[in-house]
Chain A
Amino acid sequence: MAQTQLNVALYCHSRTAPRVPNSVQLIAENLIIERGGRIIVNGVTFTANAGEVVLLTGANGAGKTTLLRALAGFLPIIAGAIRVLPESGDTPRAEHIHAIGHANAVKAHLTVRENVAFWADFLGPADGSEARTDQALAAFALRDLEEFPASYLSAGQRRRVGLARLLAAPRPIWLLDEPTVSLDAASTAQLADAIDAHTKAGGLAIAATHLPLGLQNTRELRLERKGGTA
């Protein structure tokens, strides 16, 4: 609770959103994570460096989603440590991270543009949110759809609106859980381009995916169902 109060007190001062630093690193050491009394992830250790894409692979139930949610800070870890370097004082880890989960966080009653603009305002710094929204919509070929309510979109289009969040606010670490679900080949290529540009600009991405994204500078981290890395 002390932490919480501190966050509230510091809120006015910590408004400067994290920029993409040049040498970001995400370090996981001996992670043990359980769900419902069962150890899902057992002793996973890895370091993801700036400019790198870590492809998280493994069978269904191997713990990819669990690991990603723990990295994002949604799930507590039993043992081990997760660190983001460089340490940046009072900015919590979650604020360096974009977490794309199975759900798109898209509101059916808002237009495509309103959806993306809200996340640009909410997640990013106040200034330039308009420009970032434009850029994000363009990157995922959503400019033609921007005045449509999201309820009229197809599953793949909704997924793209959800993914547009990645570009609507600058964050150095992207955690992508099955990002290509319901995307067609062209949209998958747009996503790959976005990830590529992100890593070239010094960011890093960890993606759980069954599809090859055709990216360079990737590394595979295979999770076994027992837990642990092979």
Chain B
Amino acid sequence: MIESLVVGFLNIWIWPAPLYMFVGILIGLFIGIIPSLGGNFCLCILIPFIFKMDPKIALSFLLGAHAVVATGGSITAVLLNTPGSEMNAATLLDGFPLTQKGQGGRALGNALTASGVGGVLGALFLALSLPIMRKIVLAFGPPEFFMMTVFGISFIAVVGKGSLFKSLIAGLLGLLISLIGYDPITGVVRFNFGTMYLYEGVNLLPVMMGLFAIAEMIDLGIKGGSIQQETALDKDEKVGVLEGIKDVFRHWWLTLRCSFLGAFIGMVPGLGGTIAAFVAYGHAVQTSKHPEKFGTGIVEGVIAPEAANNAKEGGSLIPTVGFGIPGSSGMAILLGAFMIIGIIPGPQMLTTKLSLTWSMVWLVAIANVIGVFICLLLANKFVKIAQVRASLLVPIVIVLSLVGTYAVDMSFYGLVIAGIFGIIGYQMKKYKFSRATVIIGLVLGDIAERNLHLSLMLYKGLFIIRPITLILLAMTVITIMLPFLGKNKISKEIT
């Protein structure tokens, strides 16, 4: 264990991995700071670059970028009331009022430092849970993996916001797309519509590019104007930054609690940084001595969500690495990236490839520290980048997305798929269908089908009564029933 920990640490410093990590951090911060382009987009843009890289270098590049996207997003949330990504939505509740009160620098110090500390604590959570996770993962067979995938799908369909029907439909659509191509047991080619391209199934990347990058650009192109409105910035932003850094350590207990809360939520498949941030914010309100001040500009209201949304990265790596089940939509994309560079998540990541898993832990922690340091130095410059006009951004991002798709897929059909899913993704966004659920379904579908068939072959229908499978089944049922239970509770309260 100790040896793997040290080897994992040393591996990330093998040249040129640190250089790629640094470049990844800069890209992650840049994308994080541009409103609406979150972690998923960041990964989509970077994936085309990794397909010829050494796995360790690619890992430094991707994790370096992904770990700091939420950090970059907090800058515009605090100073301009515009969250860089959905994860930063909770930050603006108190961050922007602080800026309005002339304490923007302090709020920025709060957000950035809490992000850094949260990121490191999230990695620590991942590190501490590895020994336990090893035993859990080894107890998992095909029936448990199958039920775990079902649990993951049910969780994102229920806990996200909006219509349950729409989320379920989106999830099923993703699952259905994952079934295109060879059947894993019989070898029958399914749903290829007469084209050779679909024999191997639908590549994850064109679908992701379409659903997120292109759909987002269609939306941006329609809205027009600039990506954000010009807001007069306080000239004394830098004055309070140091005070903001100190605040995080003054409220160390809140930072610690929210970081572990974020990491735990990240660990549960299907939940994400947005939920982690709002839960942490709610926790800060509930435990505060002056809850009425929340929303008017209070440092705890910035520290709590920022600590949680960065800590969730460490937590969400747990199911992704150990089970091959993404903890969030970002992790679903990361899972796809792992497969591209030949890293297959599963029990071997906790046995023979443990040092690689430790490298991930170190990367998340170190990237967060470096990211925060850069942000604190260059915060004002990042804000200027966030003011790029939509008219300039739209064609550049569309070009980059399609070139990236082709570079990986090497087929014009991939571009067509990206275009089609761009239009579908835009409609899904417009009519509030969860796009993340499609990705989760697409990633989990193949794993679910393979393990279902294996379970049936090994245990017939009896696989369902295995202890862990039963527990997971019960958890799935409870998760699906939650909206009904919640509704009944609300109805009773009203009556």
Q: Answer yes or no: are A and B bound together in one complex.
A: no
**A interface residue numbers (CB < 8 A to B):** none
Chain B residues within CB distance 8 Å of chain A: none
